[in-house]
Amino acid sequence: MINFQYVRATDVADAVHRIAADPAATFIAGGSNLIDLMKYDVERPSRLIDITRLPLKSVEETADGGLRIGALVSNSDLAYHPLIAARYPLLASAILAGASAQLRNMASTGGNLLQRTRCYYFYDTATPCNKREPGSGCSAISGLNRMHAILGTSEACIATHPSDMCVALAALDARVHAAGPAGARTIAFSDFHRLPENTPERDTNLQPNEIVTAVELPARGFAANYTYLKIRDRLSYAFALVSVAAALELQGDTIIEARLALGGVAHKPWRDPTAEAALREQAPSQATFNRAADVFLRDAKAFGHNAFKINLAHRAIVRALIQAAAGTPQSQSDKKIR
Amino acid sequence: MTNYIGTATSRIDGRAKVTGEAKYAGEFNITGLAHASVVASTIAKGRIARIDASAALSVEGVLDVLTHLNRPPMASADSAYDDDTAPEGSPFRPLYNDRIWFNFQPVALVVAEKPEIARFAAALVRVEYEEQAHVTDLHRQRDKAFALEPGKNHSAPPKPRGTAEQAFAAAAVRHRGEYYVPIEHHNPIELFASTVIFESDGKLTVYDKTQGVQNVQRYLCNVLGTEPEEVRVMSPFVGGAFGSGLRPQFQAVLAALAARALKRSVRLALTRQQMYGLSYRPAMIQQIELGASAGGTLDAIAHDAITVTSQYEDFHRQETGWSGLLYRCANATYAHRLARLDLETPCDMRAPSAATGVYALECAMDELAVALKLDPLELRLRYYSDRDQNTDRPYSSKSLRECYRQGSQAFGWDKRNPEPRSTRDGTELVGWGMASGVWEALQVPIAARIVLTANGHAEVSCATSDIGTGTYTIMAQVAAEMLGLPLDNVTVKLGDSTLPQSPVEGGSWIAASVSNGIATTAGAVREELLRLAKQMPNSALADATADEVTLADGMLVSKRDATCAVSIAEAMRHRGVDRIEQEKSTTFDDDGSHAHNTHSAVFAEVKVDEELGVIRVTRVVSAIAAGRILNTKTARSQIIGGVVWGIGMALHEETLIDHNFGRIMNANIAEYHVPVNADVYDIDVIFVDELDAIVNPLGIKGLGEIGIVGVAAAIANAIYHATGMRVRDLPITLDKLQR
Amino acid sequence: MAQTGTATKPITPAPENIPILLIVNGVERQLRLAPWTSLLDALRNHLDLTGTKKGCDHGQCGACTVLVEGRRILSCLSLAVMKDGAHVTTIEGLAQGGALHPLQQAFIDHDAFQCGYCTPGQICSAMGLIAEGRAKSAEEIRELMSGNICRCGAYPNIVAAIQQAMGQS
């Protein structure tokens, strides 16, 4: 860990002012990912701006029937918040599928959005990695890539986004509120995380001098028909090989709205409008779900060790849609997948 | 009289462990302690061309940067680096010269006032390497592996017997399979650390994470060229080791070198990543062939193993011999080859050779049962042997048949539908598998000291370690029972190189050894007490011999007539003796007429999601025959722990090496998966009664290893039964079950 | 060749210490710490409270679990300076006047440990778990205790110990 300065921001304006003054500074809230990376010398900030005392810890109802979640609401407070549990159980379930109880107590909503990849090479400064050191090369493409992406990859990077919470937020069409020197703005969730292309060092479209202040959920919560299905190498406390957030709105026997987002398969939570369109106006059935999975994975590309993920993702999509349609979401403590 | 041996006694060190009072190697804080941090190699093979430590040295609070160029003197002869468990070869020497043998090898040591400064400065040390081509892939090196030769290599395979080739040719059914076990790392939760106290007279007191304080003490003296009395090694608590603490590890040498260079106390704690440069269970490719008659005899066994070692030592254990030992079979052949890789030397890890060798054998047996259309348990009963097949000797005791009976009954094995994929539970396929387990009942020379005071308190001591196995507690139990004292009146000292001689704690040999050792010493105490009692006026024991008396409830009592008794306190007081001290060595005479082994029968239930391949081990029954059980509570925990290890071995554990870099990429415990709480469902442990009057006077056989043996095979066999898919390379991750 | 040897005049200053206050097990502790000192290292190296364990230093094992403001967190991924003014409960703070906390006693009764190194983290995590009140069944305990790795494999006994303590609270 390198030597760094430590300061506390007093309010959002102060935080923005402080980050603008030092391009090598970074914000710290829960610290659960940042401190980890600093100990590996992967993150080397000159200054940490402690934002944990900012007033961004409330969950409030919005005028249009949605919720505005302060960026500093902890993952566990969010997962167990009565409004989230009642109206957005998909989000609660996804949060509880990730990390451990201790980490969820520490991790913030804003920080979760900014989690960095678990790619082995990103974490090991002894190996080349374009995300950590642009231009050094991608070691994963010809190396150990069982955990790596099958969608939206580039020749520069095949890393995956590691968050579970973000997969649900993507499915729910959340919006990210940010503040910066130019004022506040909102970013659609699908525009928040980036694909690697030839700038894998940038995970998101948040500007370096901006701070996430809130995440807003629209009114539609899919509380009746949803699931978060996470497939991993042990039954808890592991990053996803593939995870699926599925949310349906049914009218009688017809799907009138469908959301499908995948984790563990791309550099961002992956959504596919065409696949969702293939579900709309259809009756829930194995055939429909198969078709949607086919569409979803039509451009999937494997790199050797991760070839199994294409098939696994297909089956997980279908199973998740079955669970969502039946109104029998996956339990995060009963490990049997129903 | 209170019996302690065989009871469910809570750990006597439990309170220290649940309150945080128990101090481990890296937790001895003293004023003026300096902190060291390792700079580890980032290449697998080559030489150090240049080290620039100037940036590190410029950091305020950095005391020194040690490299091979400026370290204090170290011994030059290989023999100085030898230790009680070293394999053949030339042991690794940290900071010795410019040679790089493996990734994560220490190349420099930064010492600073604060641990954070040491770590920061370590990252500033610039090392340039002359890199050489490396090989870290066993599969690539397979054809270059060299054979172990009986007579030349100590763990070479047993002698072949019979005429296997002809027996195979004549066999009605043959099964041949290749089984792979990857490199696994011990990953005890405590980080390897040494705190070296530089005493005012220049002597060193070393708190080290080790399974053998005297082994480390001798090693450090030899390497540093000091007299034995100048180094004392302590290890009162060890946060798990599982074999990784058998050999002296490099953090102890490095911390001692730094302490001598700086004439200051120094602590070195390795990072989790650096611990992947210590040692590991070797990867191995095993080929097993079985030939059987249709009528129920096993006629031929061939077991070949290729295991990994380093470029500088020949580590190996006898994987193959278990196959010929366990079942009645007239013909057996073995081969064992070693493949050299540019990695550090492997070492023992929980049930070394048996966890892996028996895994391959017991999967092969399951496959043979399928080929013969026989129930897997029935197959094993038909091949049951009452004699060690390798040496053709009877066992001092073998209750495996009883393990099969009680284990299968508790599991409900008789309800098993033999057909794979025949049982479902909704979305899941249910599979039942079983396997046998076997381990050696070993015992080693050991010494124990007892100090009995007239107030009825005893202190029992031995230089052995308690790595979580419960040694503190069983030592107290045996001493209390033998001396006739309440358990609370016994204190135990261990983990100190100045205490009576003990070998390293490993191989499940300490419980049997130290218990009998304490019994021997207690016998000497009893004799001494009897001598005192006889001198009392009108002594009730005037005519008694040592064999005729026992110690109970603070009295020396005649076994023939309980009314003939003398108070211990009074006997001592009468002669003006306030303490009796006895230290005795115990050796275990073995005339070689019997084989000594522990056994298990493991039954496992798995549920596998048919489409997704997610595996849950929902139920394990482990029936154990291991002689007399000293403490049913801690013994059960040992077996549960072994089963959890077996689950990890079957489903999770694998060290991932990028062979382009020759570097371990999951050198952490987020991506090196071990079972977490959610992975472990019901585990039922059964100890079958097994009286063994031959193995040693107390009939104890040891338990640490047998719990893991057979578990991975039982799970792999259950997965086959559930899915109809035979996965022969571990771990069985869900991708391997995709159709 | 290598430029090594004794330290020359320092030119890279060590970080400045920041004064902070931690209320550890009910006792106010004034400390001056560099920003890079984790709460874990502050406890172990500066307050000599070595009951809180370091098993990975990266938030992967749970051995460093302590309670901050009554909630279980990982002290290895927390900077001590960020906890200025916080109430911290460690394993050393559970027993009251020599009497073990029911969870500590339950861990002994059920032999819920072997080497004991993960144990303080397990017990502090279980304290948090019970306070959260989310776990009722063994299945839920297993899931919500999965952030604490026990390499000795004492999990079934840990679950039994927690169930015993839950029954008492």
**What local confidence, expressed as pLDDT, does residue C91 receive?**
98
**Helix (H) / strand (E) containing A244:** strand A242-251
**What local confidence, expressed as pLDDT, does residue C2 receive?**
42
- Residues from chain C that touch B16, judged by Cβ atoms under 8 A, are 116
Q: What is the CATH number of the domain that holds C116?
A: 1.10.150.120
Q: Which of C48, C141, C151 sits opposite B189 (nearest CB)?
A: C151
- Residues from chain C that touch A35, judged by Cβ atoms under 8 A, are 38, 59, 76-79
Write out pLDDT tens, residues A192-231: 999 999 999 999 999 999 999 999 999 999 999 999 999 9
B617 and B714 share one domain: yes
Question: Exposed, middle or buried: residue A220 (CB in 10 Å: 0-12, 13-18, 19+)?
Answer: middle
Query: Residue B402 above 90 pLDDT?
Result: yes
Cα–Cα distance for residue pair A296/A298, rounded to 1 Å: 6
Does B467 sit within 8 Å of C115, measured CB to CB?
A: yes
Percentage of chain A lying above the pLDDT 90 cut: 100
Cα–Cα distance for residue pair B275/B79, rounded to 1 Å: 25
Does B15 sit within 8 Å of C108, measured CB to CB?
A: yes
- Cis before residue B731, ω within 30 degrees of 0? yes
Cα angle: B718, vertex B720, B725; to 5 degrees: 155
**What local confidence, expressed as pLDDT, does residue B152 receive?**
81
B478 and B610 share one domain: no
Cα–Cα distance for residue pair C7/B730, rounded to 1 Å: 49
B98 and B166 share one domain: no
Q: Which residue of B has its CA nearest to A143?
A: B658
**What local confidence, expressed as pLDDT, does residue A255 receive?**
98
Side by side, the strands of the sheet bearing A5-8 are A5-8, A47-50, A25-28
Residue C8 domain-assigned?
A: no
The last residue of a domain, from among B558, B586, B614: B586
Chain B contact present for A336, CB below 8 A? yes
**What local confidence, expressed as pLDDT, does residue B611 receive?**
97
CB C29 within 8 A of CB C47: yes
Cα–Cα distance for residue pair B620/B603, rounded to 1 Å: 6
Cα–Cα distance for residue pair A269/A251, rounded to 1 Å: 27
Pairing of the two strands B565-567 and B329-340: unpaired
Write out pLDDT tens, residues B381-400: 999 999 999 999 999 999 99
- Residues from chain B that touch C34, judged by Cβ atoms under 8 A, are 114, 116
Question: Exposed, middle or buried: residue C12 (CB in 10 Å: 0-12, 13-18, 19+)?
Answer: middle
Average pLDDT for chain B: 97
The last residue of a domain, from among B529, B561, B586: B586
- Give the architecture (CATH level 2) of A226-326: 2-Layer Sandwich (3.30)
- Residues from chain B that touch C100, judged by Cβ atoms under 8 A, are 15, 18-19
Does C146 sit within 8 Å of B239, measured CB to CB?
A: no
Residue labelled with tokens 């048919």: B610
Query: Residue B212 above 90 pLDDT?
Result: yes
Burial C17-27 (b: 16+ CB within 10 A, else e): eeebebebbee
Q: Indicate if A226-326 has the same CATH topology as A5-52.
A: no
Residue B142 domain-assigned?
A: no
Write out pLDDT tens, residues B507-566: 999 999 999 999 999 999 999 999 999 999 999 999 999 999 999 999 999 999 999 999
Listed in sequence order, the residues at least 6 apart from B29 whose beta carbon sits closer than 8 Å to its beta carbon are C44, C45, C48, C50
Cα–Cα distance for residue pair B350/B506, rounded to 1 Å: 9
**What local confidence, expressed as pLDDT, does residue C168 receive?**
73
Residue B10 domain-assigned?
A: no
| Binding partners of B (≥3 Cβ pairs within 8 A) | A, C
Residue B554 domain-assigned?
A: yes
**Tally of domains in chain B:** 3
B301 and B435 share one domain: yes
- Residues from chain A that touch B42, judged by Cβ atoms under 8 A, are 126
Write out pLDDT tens, residues A58-68: 999 999 999 99
Residue C32 domain-assigned?
A: yes
B298 and B219 share one domain: no
Given CA atoms A303, A307, A311, A317 in this order, what sign does their dihedral have?
negative
* φ and ψ at residue B451, rounded to 5 degrees: -115, 115
C110 and C58 share one domain: no
CB B618 within 8 A of CB B606: yes
Q: What integer is the mean pLDDT of B668-690? A: 98
C5 to chain B, closest Cα gap in Å? 7
Write out pLDDT tens, residues A220-232: 999 999 999 999 9
Q: Which domain holds residue C156?
A: 102-168
Chain A contact present for B618, CB below 8 A? no
Burial B52-75 (b: 16+ CB within 10 A, else e): bbbbbbbbbbbbbbbbbbbbeebe
Does B674 sit within 8 Å of C151, measured CB to CB?
A: yes
Residue C10 domain-assigned?
A: no
- Residues from chain C that touch A25, judged by Cβ atoms under 8 A, are none
Cα–Cα distance for residue pair B71/B56, rounded to 1 Å: 16
Residue-range domain boundaries for chain A: 5-52, 226-326
Residue B462 domain-assigned?
A: yes
Does A105 sit within 8 Å of C72, measured CB to CB?
A: yes
Residue C42 domain-assigned?
A: yes
B391 and B461 share one domain: no
Q: Count CA atoms within 13 Å of residue B737 on its CB side.
A: 24
Residue B45 domain-assigned?
A: yes
**What local confidence, expressed as pLDDT, does residue C10 receive?**
67
Cα–Cα distance for residue pair B358/B374, rounded to 1 Å: 20
Q: How many CB pairs under 8 A join B and C?
A: 229
Q: Which domain holds residue B63?
A: 19-133+189-240+245-275
| Binding partners of C (≥3 Cβ pairs within 8 A) | A, B
Write out pLDDT tens, residues A12-42: 999 999 999 999 999 999 999 999 999 999 9
Q: Which residues of A touch C (CB under 8 A)?
A: 1, 3-6, 28, 31-32, 35-36, 39-40, 48, 50, 52, 76, 80, 99-103, 105-106, 235-237, 332-335
CB B51 within 8 A of CB B40: no
Does A333 sit within 8 Å of C144, measured CB to CB?
A: yes
- Residues from chain B that touch C58, judged by Cβ atoms under 8 A, are 272, 668, 670
Q: What integer is the mean pLDDT of B98-107? A: 98
- Residues from chain C that touch A80, judged by Cβ atoms under 8 A, are 134
C117 and C155 share one domain: yes
CB B65 within 8 A of CB B110: yes
Cα–Cα distance for residue pair B429/B421, rounded to 1 Å: 6
Q: Residue A47: how many CB atoms within 10 A of its CB?
A: 18
Cα–Cα distance for residue pair B596/A302, rounded to 1 Å: 52
Percentage of chain C lying above the pLDDT 70 cut: 93
Cα–Cα distance for residue pair A288/A21, rounded to 1 Å: 54
Write out pLDDT tens, residues C58-87: 999 999 999 999 999 999 999 999 999 999
Write out pLDDT tens, residues B279-301: 999 999 999 999 999 988 999 99
Query: Residue B657 above 60 pLDDT?
Result: yes
Alpha helices per DSSP H over B239-375: 250-262, 272-275, 321-326, 354-372
Residue B635 domain-assigned?
A: yes
CB A236 within 8 A of CB A47: no
**What local confidence, expressed as pLDDT, does residue B1 receive?**
54
B465 and B389 share one domain: no
C73 to chain B, closest Cα gap in Å? 17
Residue B140 domain-assigned?
A: no
Does B269 sit within 8 Å of C5, measured CB to CB?
A: no
Does C10 sit within 8 Å of B62, measured CB to CB?
A: yes
Cα–Cα distance for residue pair A60/B310, rounded to 1 Å: 61
Average pLDDT for chain A: 98
Query: Residue A277 above 60 pLDDT?
Result: yes
Q: Which of B27, B55, B645 sits opposite C153 (nearest CB)?
A: B645
Which of C74, C84, C150 best probes binding to A when mutated, by most A CB atoms within 10 angstroms?
C74
C23 to chain A, closest Cα gap in Å? 18
- Give the architecture (CATH level 2) of A5-52: 2-Layer Sandwich (3.30)
Does B668 sit within 8 Å of C60, measured CB to CB?
A: yes
Which of C60, C151, C162 best probes binding to B when mutated, by most B CB atoms within 10 angstroms?
C151
Q: Which residue of B has its CA nearest to C47?
A: B29
Q: What integer is the mean pLDDT of B422-440? A: 98
The last residue of a domain, from among B537, B562, B586: B586
Q: How confident is the model at residue C1 (pLDDT cuts 50, 70, 90)?
A: very low
Q: Which of B607, B611, B661 sits opposite A315 (nearest CB)?
A: B611
Does A124 sit within 8 Å of B665, measured CB to CB?
A: yes
Residue B636 domain-assigned?
A: yes
Does C108 sit within 8 Å of B668, measured CB to CB?
A: no
Residue C4 domain-assigned?
A: no
Write out pLDDT tens, residues C154-167: 999 999 999 999 99
User: Which bin fits A78, alpha (ψ -120 to 50), beta or left (φ > 0)?
Assistant: alpha
Residue labelled with tokens 């490095």: B254
List residues of B with catalytic annotation: 705
B315 and B438 share one domain: yes
Which residues 624-663 of chain B have a CB within 8 Å of chain C?
633-634, 636-638, 640-645
Residue spans of beta strands (DSSP E) within B441-493: 446-453, 457-461, 490-493
Cα angle: B252, vertex B256, B261; to 5 degrees: 150
**What local confidence, expressed as pLDDT, does residue B739 receive?**
79
B72 and B215 share one domain: yes
Q: What is the CATH number of the domain that holds B684?
A: 3.30.365.10
C82 and C108 share one domain: no
Cα–Cα distance for residue pair B525/A88, rounded to 1 Å: 72
C89 and C115 share one domain: no
Q: Residue B246: how many CB atoms within 10 A of its CB?
A: 26
C114 and C157 share one domain: yes
B732 and B619 share one domain: yes
- Residues from chain B that touch A234, judged by Cβ atoms under 8 A, are 651-652, 673, 675-676, 678-679
